[in-house]
Amino acid sequence: MSIPKITFIGAGSVVFTQGLLADLFAFDELKTAHIALHDIDSERLSTAHAAAHLIADELGARPEISSHPDRREALAGADFVINMVQIGMGEATRVDFEIPARYGLRQTIGDTLGIGGIFRALRTFPFLKELGQDIAEICPDAWLLNYTNPMAMNVQYLSRATGLTKVVGLCHSVYWTMRGLADLVKVPYEEVTYQAAGVNHQAWLLRFEHQGSDLYPRLDALIAGDEQLRRRVRVDMYRRLGYYPTETSEHSSEYVPWYLHHDSEIDRLRLPIGEYLRTVRENVDAYERTREALACGAPIEVEGTMEYAPQIIHSIVSGTPRTVYGNVPNRGLIQNLSPDGVVEVPCLVDSSGIQPTRIGALPPQLAALNRTYLSANDLVVRAAMEDEPRHIRHAAMIDPATAAALTVEQIWRLCDDMVQAHSASLQPGLRTVIGS
């Protein structure tokens, strides 16, 4: 590959775009890449364009940078497509929290599973179908690198609805979990050997070693001696399940029935209800600061983020082999999970592309939790693929945190309220209010 073209879909997520660009331009082979920015918000697109030029200058890069209100124009000739669109932005997220809260349903992040994850997926699917069709027509050989949540549902839908095969979902949870654990056990991250697998935001640390020695006993000793460590959901899950989860406590609490429905557990484990609404506000504030800084010529932050997309692009372009964690259709990679589901596994990346690692079987207690997660995902994808609104309710019924908090009658009424609130973003066949 000569000079790659990298298309950013949803480039108006300016803060995230900045981090990705800083990562890309840190590689010599990518300093002259063509960066094509697309967003439907003209002001955000203009801000992203200005930020891209500033970051390139700061890092001594000389890329071609273009901005495109038209998505198809941005995709023309693309070798890589990075998707980070959020359909509905902050207002839709507010709805995802406020309506369930009226029913007494608590959420912390609401972007992966549960009511928030279900409806974030359903309003994203129509966009993903159009994007997939455009890629298949305009740049069929491009790799689609997806950051948009709910990760596993979106990748499963993309694979089924568009037929694209060069799709991988990317999340930084495994990487940052391992950085945090390495610091905790006081071993340099570069010296830690590990393997994780499962599903996005609910994968498991299967191997955790330093120079051939298991680090789990050292972690156990630290937990036993630190009451504050024991006041974390992921530590509580690790103590009971035997393997450390690869996502934060806020996320992890939403995918099981044990925590959010109980006031005592919320207090014991210090769970911040509605946390993501604060994150949304912080993201808006960060965007405004960037926009104002660019307008007056002030410097902006130009720091790398160690995200996987730039590493993947560099490996494919340069042939440099590396391992990243990706979300891909299972197809036997984890043998005791559904072959149709999307799993998170280590992937080797080099000039030939992305090759997922076959894991074998997960420990049975971990697979049991992952199967519930994947079953909910499958029903959401089926709702869209089959135009079957009842499957939305079925997915909510089997979601662990929702089922722990609400009666079936409440779940169906809640889904009706959510369908009405998000109706404009849903495919027509799913806008039906069913009643109980």
Tokens describing residue 110: 């609401």
Active site residue 34: no
CB distance 393 to 418 below 8 Å: no
Angle at 23 (CA atoms; ends 210, 249), nearest 5 degrees:
55
Q: Is the dihedral of CA 76, 82, 88, 90 positive or negative?
A: negative
CB distance 401 to 256 below 8 Å: yes
Give the residue among 141, 113, 6 at the shortest CA–CA distance from 342: 113
Residue 303, sorted as left (phi over 0), alpha (psi -120 to 50) or beta, turns out to be: beta
| Cα–Cα distance list, 192 to 217, 275, 325 (Å) | 14, 31, 16
Q: What whole-number distance in Å separates Cα of residue 22 and Cα of residue 310?
A: 9
Q: What whole-number distance in Å separates Cα of residue 174 and Cα of residue 167?
A: 19
CB distance 366 to 243 below 8 Å: yes
Burial label for 60, CB within 10 Å (0-12, 13-18, 19+), is: exposed
Catalytic residue (choose from 34, 38, 53, 172)? 172
Count of other CB atoms within 10 angstroms of residue 94:
15
CB distance 184 to 221 below 8 Å: no
Q: What whole-number distance in Å separates Cα of residue 315 and Cα of residue 312?
A: 5
Q: What whole-number distance in Å separates Cα of residue 100 and Cα of residue 94?
A: 10
Q: How far is CA 3 from the centre of its chain?
A: 28
Q: What whole-number distance in Å separates Cα of residue 260 and Cα of residue 289?
A: 34
Largest Cα–Cα separation, the chain: 61
Q: What whole-number distance in Å separates Cα of residue 170 and Cα of residue 347?
A: 11
Catalytic residue list: 172
